[in-house]
């Protein structure tokens, strides 16, 4: 596995925090923008490669990520109609379990979702086109710039090539949209909010604990490596060992 793929795989189920810079027109110097936190997981998901969204005040943003979501570039149109280029640099990445869930500002929104039946074989059963809806995976997302803006619409593409676009109900009680997967026809997509959910299910708790365990193991391995290097190097005295002063 290449380092880029390893980085992308490790970024799954991660919350990214970016420091942004805004460049207006022909301005010689960029200005510092707000920090942006991003998290998107669709049916087990991959790292997002593109995002576009609008908020209730009429503002619109569209960004494209570098490999492993180490940064992004994009454009933002403000509610007043002003347009600026936006660049983001990864400032922090943390596990999803460290964030709250629910509808409050800065929280992860969680939806149970369904896909429209399109005919043919679906989950081992033959269905006719337009026969209804079938259960799909959960959608979790967070777009937070610290201003508490209300998300109205969202479009995305992830590193698997999955694309989607949804429009939210005013209170984020649900959404309607479409979902497209590589090699398949796009289908209708709808979601129903999981309200006030602060306790993960058993499967989700195991996933979160496994992620936490991987992070903790990484810290321990790094610490052991440092200790081993220190012991092998004579405590930082160039490997002499015997030059270590003794107390009188």
As a whole number, the mean pLDDT across the chain is 77
**Cβ atoms of 19 and 31 closer than 8 Å:** no
Domain boundary assignment for the chain: 3-198, 203-236
- Going by C-alpha positions, the residue among 51, 52, 49, 85 that lies closest to residue 67 is 49
Residue 163 has pLDDT above 60, yes or no: yes
Q: What is the pLDDT of residue 63?
A: 98
Most confident of 17-26, 95-104, 219-228: 17-26
Percentage of the chain modeled with pLDDT above 90:
42
Between residues 222 and 166, which one has the greater pLDDT? 166
Q: What is the pLDDT of residue 119?
A: 59
Cα→Cα distances 145→35, 151, 235, Å: 6, 11, 45
Residue 55 has pLDDT above 80, yes or no: yes
Tokens of 145: 């710039």
SS3 labels along 101-141: ECCCCCCEEEEEEEEEEEEEEECCEEEEEEEEEEECCCEEE
pLDDT digits (tens, 9 = 90+) for 91-102: 998 876 556 555
């Amino acid at each position: 596995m290449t380092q880029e793929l390893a980085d992308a795989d490790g970024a799954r189920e991660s919350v990214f925090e970016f420091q942004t810079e805004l460049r207006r027109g022909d301005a010689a110097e960029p200005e510092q923008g707000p920090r942006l936190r991003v998290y998107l997981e669709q049916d087990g998901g991959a790292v997002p490669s593109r995002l576009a969204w609008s908020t209730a005040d009429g503002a619109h943003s569209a960004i494209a990520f570098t490999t492993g979501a180490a940064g992004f570039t994009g454009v933002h149109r403000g509610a007043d109609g002003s347009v600026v280029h936006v660049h983001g640099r990864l400032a922090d990445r943390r596990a999803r379990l460290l964030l709250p869930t629910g509808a409050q500002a800065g929280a992860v929104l969680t939806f149970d979702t369904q896909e429209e039946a399109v005919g043919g074989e679906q989950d081992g059963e033959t269905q006719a086109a337009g026969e209804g809806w079938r259960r799909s995976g959960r959608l979790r997302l967070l777009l937070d710039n610290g201003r508490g803006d209300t998300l109205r619409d969202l479009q995305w593409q992830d590193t698997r090539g999955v694309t989607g676009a949804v429009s939210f109900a005013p209170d984020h009680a649900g959404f309607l949209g479409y979902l497209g997967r590589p090699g398949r026809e796009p289908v209708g997509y709808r979601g129903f909010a999981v309200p006030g959910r602060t306790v993960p299910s058993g499967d989700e708790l195991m996933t979160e604990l496994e992620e936490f365990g991987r992070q903790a193991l990484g810290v321990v391995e790094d610490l052991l490596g440092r200790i081993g290097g220190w012991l092998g190097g004579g405590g930082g005295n160039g490997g002499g060992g015997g030059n270590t002063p003794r107390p009188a």
